[in-house]
Structure 1
């Protein structure tokens, strides 16, 4: 019979072996978390991703080396069962599925980065995710580098341009205060015309803009986040919008980057650089 001390030692070794192997295979059902884990050098631990809607900059995960575990809002439970990951990462989009996913593997919900304090939220989310997977010592240096890169990019913007951000959804253009553009980059949005109306549906409010109203606002840049294109629906016809807005400078961001992957270490810098590039055109 093993003595108590021997039992304790055996349990400690078993626990360590479990820790060494059990967190190695991750099913990442959130692109921001996938982005951040990759940036922190944890790409080899990824076993499954939603492959059908991967942003271009994460296309290395599109191969058959990674299980296709569904979508950002609808997990493929059969695939996840067969994959048997050691852990699952989700966003708030799958918050309602967390208990069911927990039956397959421990499930971590990554925070979002939005609103009026983007950087603080990005820092907190990065440290929390890195700590969960044992690499928090890498989070600080990565964030410091990102902060410096963002500051360098924003410093190249001349003057104080006004940027109007609109979300394209099923043919409609909806006014948007964007956390990267308006908060992180501190770029102002033009004043809305008096005839603009805000509609409320449930707990959400929408301010739809017409091309005439956008023209009246006369922003230095109209930045389009194409939700429809990001989720596989008919995209905005950017040429038609150009013709409707005349001389206004209109640029569409990379749809999946902007709508599906915001809040990652790499995606944040890519978004900043896209806007800076557009303002320099």
Structure 2
């Protein structure tokens, strides 16, 4: 009996030991599984890029609307390497070009007859890229056929109606605001260049592009500092709507804040993005050393082109810029219709530098 009891006790002990080993194995497997899951989750998180999506939604027609709408402030996780991107900010389309990832653009708003595209964006004339309508009037039927992974917008498309329609026709697409703010224009372009570089795993290329742009800006800034008189008027011609002036604090404030020009006159901050309406007497009284002239009417829908010579007449002839022929016409595509991206910003810098290099002192 004692021997049988001993056997029974040994058997029970063996069962307990095996059970303990089994529990330990399960705990170890569970722990390893947890670590594997966490690792997979951590690894998966690197497959997205976070965009700060902060912008104003207009209840009207976008850029021209004076009514205030809802403020959007959110973060959006975008999966890396999206293959079908609908770009409504034509400037940012030029950033895709600069990074050599334009093959991922499925479509963009070329306008009727591709009239919205600058020379810098001429490769998008191809039928390979769908025409998504106008900058303020997207072709939602084409969007529905396309079913993009990502929609990039700026102020002209940030309306209640457009956003509702984007979500309706392309429910699986992420919508990201990519417009550059005039108060931090080149900084925003640099940041977006790096974001797109991260999105397509071209961080080194993006960093180099930004470095090149900052170097060019510094060079122009140094040249402006050497001018005997750096007072400018930035004038925008608008066909029958006349001439408007953009000064410091306005839409093109980076001419003053970034490049270091001084404004020949004060700017009325209460005006909209199209500037303060002015006349020829204003130009004569301001007496700028340099006049930058951008013909918005030449590229705006239904607009009318205005020859720069219109600003040279018996009233304005006393201005230093007129007398010394320091009047420089700017490309309205890169300064207005396609502004806000890397290649178009570099084109802007080049035009400013050319003007400074050809400045004639009294």
| TM-score normalized by the length of structure 2 | 0.65
Deviations 1:126-167 (A, max 9, x none): 334444454444322211111112223443444142111122
Partner of 1:100: 165
Is 1:231 aligned to residue 300 of structure 2?
yes
Task: Note the C-alpha offset of 1:223.
Answer: 0.8
Task: Note the C-alpha offset of 1:217.
Answer: 1.2
Partner SS state of residue 182, structure 2: coil
Partner of 2:236: 167
Is 1:274 aligned to residue 274 of structure 2?
no
Partner SS state of residue 256, structure 2: helix
Q: Which runs of 5+ in 2 are unaligned?
A: 1-32, 48-78
Alignment of 1:1-281 (within 5 A): 23-51=82-110, 52=114, 53-96=116-159, 97-103=162-168, 104=170, 105-115=173-183, 117-157=184-224, 158-159=226-227, 160-170=229-239, 171-177=241-247, 178-192=252-266, 206-232=275-301, 233-244=303-314, 245-246=316-317, 247-248=322-323, 249-281=326-358
Task: Note the C-alpha offset of 1:231.
Answer: 1.2
Separation in 2, partners of 1:25, 1:199: 40
Sort the Cα spacing of 1:210 and 1:144 in 2 relative to 1 into closer, same or farther, 3 A: same
Task: Note the C-alpha offset of 1:106.
Answer: 2.2
Q: Is the 8 A contact 1:180 1:271 kept in 2?
A: no
Separation in 1, partners of 2:200, 2:174: 12
CA RMSD in angstroms, aligned pairs only? 3.2
Separation in 2, partners of 1:212, 1:228: 22
Separation in 1, partners of 2:277, 2:260: 23
Partner SS state of residue 312, structure 2: helix
Separation in 1, partners of 2:195, 2:164: 20
Sort the Cα spacing of 1:152 and 1:125 in 2 relative to 1 into closer, same or farther, 3 A: same
Separation in 2, partners of 1:140, 1:267: 17
Separation in 1, partners of 2:147, 2:273: 37
Separation in 1, partners of 2:269, 2:178: 30
CA radius of gyration, larger in = 2
Sort the Cα spacing of 1:231 and 1:188 in 2 relative to 1 into closer, same or farther, 3 A: same
Separation in 1, partners of 2:354, 2:279: 26
Task: Note the C-alpha offset of 1:254.
Answer: 0.5
| TM-score normalized by the length of structure 1 | 0.82
Partner SS state of residue 243, structure 1: coil
Partner SS state of residue 166, structure 1: strand
Aligned length: 267
Sort the Cα spacing of 1:205 and 1:108 in 2 relative to 1 into closer, same or farther, 3 A: closer
Task: Note the C-alpha offset of 1:259.
Answer: 0.6
Separation in 1, partners of 2:117, 2:238: 19
